[in-house]
Amino acid sequence: MEQFEVIDGKIVIRKKEHIKLPEGVDAEFMDVLNDVIKEHNEAFKGLVDR
């Protein structure tokens, strides 16, 4: 499975790791969570350094 993103006007294609989620965990929720983590990664790193 591949993941497609547009970064700085360029299309980036990466292999997406397939993992089996525990029962009751929605794959779409995990995708949204992953996007949020990516978007706020620097803020999360800043919290670790406090």
List the one residue out of 12, 19, 15 whose CA is nearest residue 1.
15
Say if 2 falls within a structural domain. Answer: no
Reduced to 3 states (helix: H, G, I; strand: E, B; else coil), residue 19 is coil
pLDDT of 1 > 70? The answer is no
pLDDT band at residue 5 under the 50/70/90 scheme? confident
pLDDT of 22 > 70? The answer is yes
Q: Is 16 left (phi over 0), alpha (psi -120 to 50) or beta?
A: beta
Q: What's the whole-number mean pLDDT along residues 6-20?
A: 81
What is the distance between the alpha carbons of residues 23 and 44, in angstroms, rounded to a whole number? Answer: 27
Say if 46 falls within a structural domain. Answer: yes
Say if 1 falls within a structural domain. Answer: no
> Which residue's structure tokens are 């009751």?
24
Q: Which residues span the domain enclosing 33? A: 20-50
Say if 9 falls within a structural domain. Answer: no
Say if 13 falls within a structural domain. Answer: no
